[in-house]
Structure formats: structure tokens, C-alpha cells
């Protein structure tokens, strides 16, 4: 999948830097979150907080895309031990669509496996549920270098658990 570099120029981070410019200096692991409050989104933030140092050691910068305002996002990132995270607010989900991340169907969001895994996480980890953002939006992960997508992971269901480190450190 190719992405138009003009889209990357439009994607301005909370640090006032375009994603295009960032990707020209170092690889970017672009993580499109489902929605804050989602059990699986909470799991993703928790997982990424644990492996962030290993990813950054490899010279890869993590940038999150979310559908909330920046203040709400900052609170979530602090809660999940990701302070000073670089992120992009995309409340209308424009950039999700540009990266071919669409709204999920019933199986992807409410299938038996999704519900069972979500319930298990809620009970074991206490992640719970919340309603900030579009509850039907599907997540995805992209590794960018020099304004090009060099690796990606598109979720089949909301419950997918990708290997972030593997995605971030593929040969490019």
C-alpha cells in the first residue's frame, strides 16, 4: 500500500511536526488506535509502554493516531506509562480512511472470539470499556520510512494482538 506524501504532510503531531518530515529523519511506527476506553486499545497502550524502550533503541519513533482531543489523549498516555508520547488527533477519522482503516463489521467487533477475549482482558487486567471515539473504527499499524510504508499490520478483528516489535523492526 502506498500513501500520498501530501497526506503525511497534513498529519501534524502534538509537537507541531508533520509525519512526512519525521519519517524523513527516522522510521516511524504509526499506531492507529481504535478508541480510548476500548479494552483492546488499553491493552495496546499497556503492551507498547513495555516495549517502547526496545523499539526506540532500534531508532524507531512511535507515533499514535487517535480520535480524541489532545488533552484526553495525554491523560490516557500518562495512565499507561507513555508520557511525552507523540500523537496526532484525528477526531473525524480522516487519516484512518486515508490508510484504508475502515469501520468494522459485526464479526470483527462483536464475534464470539472478540467478546471472549475482551471479557477475559476486562476481568484479568481490569481494562474495562469506555466510549471515546468511534466504537466501530478498526485499528492498524504502519512502519514509515522516507514517506513510504515499509511494513504494516491491518487488524482482522478488534481483538487481534500484533507483535509491535516485529512490525517496527522489519528489514527496510
pLDDT, tens digit, 9 for 90 and up, residues 64-76: 999 999 999 999 8
- Indicate if the pLDDT at residue 117 is higher than 90: no
Q: How many domains does the chain have?
A: 1
Q: Is residue 24 part of a domain?
A: no
Mean pLDDT for the stretch of residues 29-47: 88
Distance of CA 66 to the CA centre of its chain: 7
Q: Which of 154, 136, 156 is nearest to 30 (CA)?
A: 154
Range of the domain at 140: 5-11+29-168
Residue 140 pLDDT: 96
Q: pTM for the complete prediction?
A: 0.88
Question: What is the CATH number for 77?
Answer: 3.40.30.10
Q: Is residue 158 part of a domain?
A: yes
Q: Is residue 86 part of a domain?
A: yes
Phi, psi angle pair for 33, to nearest 5°: -85, 150
Q: Is residue 155 part of a domain?
A: yes
Q: Is residue 19 part of a domain?
A: no
> Which three cell numbers, joined as nine digits, stand for 66?
487517535
Confidence of residue 126 (pLDDT cuts 50, 70, 90): low
Amino acid at each position: 500500500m502506498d500513501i500520498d506524501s501530501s497526506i503525511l504532510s497534513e498529519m501534524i503531531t502534538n509537537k507541531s511536526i508533520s509525519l512526512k518530515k519525521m519519517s524523513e529523519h527516522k522510521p516511524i511506527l504509526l499506531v492507529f488506535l481504535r478508541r480510548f476506553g476500548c479494552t483492546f486499545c488499553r491493552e495496546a497502550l499497556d503492551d507498547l509502554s513495555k516495549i517502547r524502550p526496545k523499539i526506540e533503541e532500534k531508532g524507531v519513533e512511535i507515533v499514535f493516531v487517535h480520535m480524541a482531543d489532545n488533552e484526553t489523549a495525554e491523560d490516557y498516555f500518562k495512565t499507561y506509562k507513555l508520557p511525552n508520547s507523540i500523537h496526532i488527533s484525528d477526531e473525524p477519522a480522516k487519516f484512518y480512511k486515508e490508510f484504508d482503516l475502515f469501520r468494522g463489521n459485526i464479526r470483527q467487533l462483536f464475534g464470539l472470539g472478540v467478546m471472549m477475549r475482551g471479557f477475559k482482558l476486562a476481568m484479568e487486567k481490569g481494562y474495562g470499556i469506555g466510549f471515546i471515539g468511534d466504537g466501530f473504527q478498526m485499528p492498524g499499524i504502519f512502519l514509515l520510512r522516507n514517506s513510504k510504508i515499509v511494513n504494516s499490520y491491518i487488524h482482522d478483528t478488534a481483538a487481534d494482538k500484533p507483535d509491535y516489535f516485529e512490525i517496527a523492526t522489519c528489514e527496510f
